[in-house]
Structure 1
């Protein structure tokens, strides 16, 4: 979780002893332990509350799909660019080039003589 090895833990203890002193270290260690217990209980309570509210669907949820570490923007873009269109999409557009190069999208033309379009919902 925190990825702290043994030597780093020893160094943190030495720094704690030097900064806090031996008389205050047990007090702060106890406070840290109480805080860790409180956070653990909070996570357990949140999980049980979510399980109670979701009911039987809670077991069916694939929690790995919500892990933000799996989303690599480079991989997502690469896969989107390398995917071939589905056969029905390719058949619908016979004039579309199949070389992977996208045709330019025509821009809508605005006549300066006409008033600018107004969308009341967008403002």
Structure 2
């Protein structure tokens, strides 16, 4: 199979193309198609060779199936992400969480050092953006 086409479908397409083009122009079109196929094959071969040269010995170690874009199903990716275990907190994150939840949390104070109250609210700048 070539891009989902079977031999029967390719023969049918060739027959219809032969009838539409006509027997006079068919050899010229076949020659053009053959030249195009050869150039495409040469291009792919050159690209593969160049890639091998630039990647060096690591080229053979690459698992090319993992880079196939057809495998990326958004539903599967989201499902796997949701089923993953929760990340383990690091030492630094645990320290920050402990500091935030401690009883000595930051409480805003007035310039005199006393905490703000309903009678002494914090200053408000109505021109601030």
Task: Give TM-score, length-normalised by structure 2.
Answer: 0.65
Secondary structure, in 3 states, of the residue corresponding to 1:14?
helix
Q: For residues 112 and 22 of structure 1, do their structure 2 counterparts lie closer, same or farther at Cα, with a shift above 3 Å needed?
A: farther
The offset of 1:113, in angstroms, is 5.7
What is the aligned length? 98
Measured against aligned partners, the alpha-carbon deviations of 1:6-58 in whole angstroms (never above 9, x if no partner) come to 22122112211111001111110111111011001101001101111111111
**Corresponding residue for residue 39 of structure 1:** 40
**Corresponding residue for residue 58 of structure 1:** 59
The offset of 1:81, in angstroms, is 1.2
| CA distance in 2: counterparts of 1:29 and 1:12, whole angstroms | 13
| CA distance in 2: counterparts of 1:7 and 1:63, whole angstroms | 31
Q: What RMSD in Å do the two structures reach over aligned CA positions?
A: 2.5
Task: Give TM-score, length-normalised by structure 1.
Answer: 0.68
| CA distance in 1: counterparts of 2:44 and 2:59, whole angstroms | 16
Q: Which runs of 5+ in 1 are unaligned?
A: 94-110, 116-123
